[in-house]
Chains A and B, each alone.
Chain A
Amino acid sequence: SQQGEEDPQALSIQEGENATMNCSYKTSINNLQWYRQNSGRGLVHLILIRSNEREKHSGRLRVTLDTSKKSSSLLITASRAADTASYFCATSRYNTDKLIFGTGTRLQVFP
């Protein structure tokens, strides 16, 4: 299967703590994206990191990419109850607009 793997499958933390999610993929990529899915809703794009980038920040989000290990991590700092959602990584290969999604991490942030 081309599907990426995410780790952990589920994560429960208290408000204020940091949450780290990891994503591993199998093929060379053009870019890697992270999406959030609230329960019963569609996916919302969070951040995109290109294959020639190693780290990117957006607000409380920090994404790293290690192409040699074919892995990425998403760090959410100072988490809030509103961050409770499923988080998916998705990879895009060169010359295609097809996104391959990971298996997702379910994050629960307790107030």
Chain B
Amino acid sequence: DTAVSQTPKYLVTQMGNDKSIKCEQNLGHDTMYWYKQDSKKFLKIMFSYNNKELIINETVPNRFSPKSPDKAHLNLHINSLELGDSAVYFCASSQASGPLAETQYFGPGTRLLVL
């Protein structure tokens, strides 16, 4: 069974389009994250949600809007895609937030290419 799953795995789209990436975890975790990994492999957190509530928003452009319908799902919607949005986007989850947050479990990634 896949613990953290993301769809789609690959996404190729034109500049200016709007797209969504979905993430689901079956680990029963309270906290979910979105990370962006650029072409140089730098991995940076974008958002964190705990029990459907936004905890971390790392000065990401407001074209990116996360949505958590329930604590097992965290989707990422991107409006007006730009070339610089091309990257691999990883979803992750962990058991608790705050000072007890520890291991994060990552999804396989969504490779986004904006043409």
Question: Taking beta carbons and an 8 Å cutoff, which residues of A are in contact with B?
Answer: 3, 30-31, 33, 35, 37, 40-45, 48, 86, 88, 92, 94-101, 103-104
Contacts and interface: CB of A to CB of B under 8 A. Distances in A.
Contacts of A3: 42, 44
Given A88-B43, A97-B31, A98-B45, A42 B109 contact: yes
Contacts of A94: 99
Contacts of A43: 43, 90, 92, 104, 106
A40 B97 CA distance: 28
Contacts of A44: 106
B102 interface: yes
Interface string B16-31: 0000000000000001
Contacts of B96: 97
A52 B61 CA distance: 37
A86 B109 CA distance: 15
7 contacts: A37-B41, A42-B4, A45-B105, A95-B99, A97-B50, A99-B104, A100-B45
Contacts of B108: 41-42
A48 to B, nearest CB: 6
Contacts of A101: 42-44
Residue of A31, A41, A97 with most partner-chain B CB within 10 A: A97
Interface in B10-67: 31, 41-45, 48, 50, 55-56
B41 A97 contact: no
Nearest to B95: A97
A41 B2 CA distance: 13
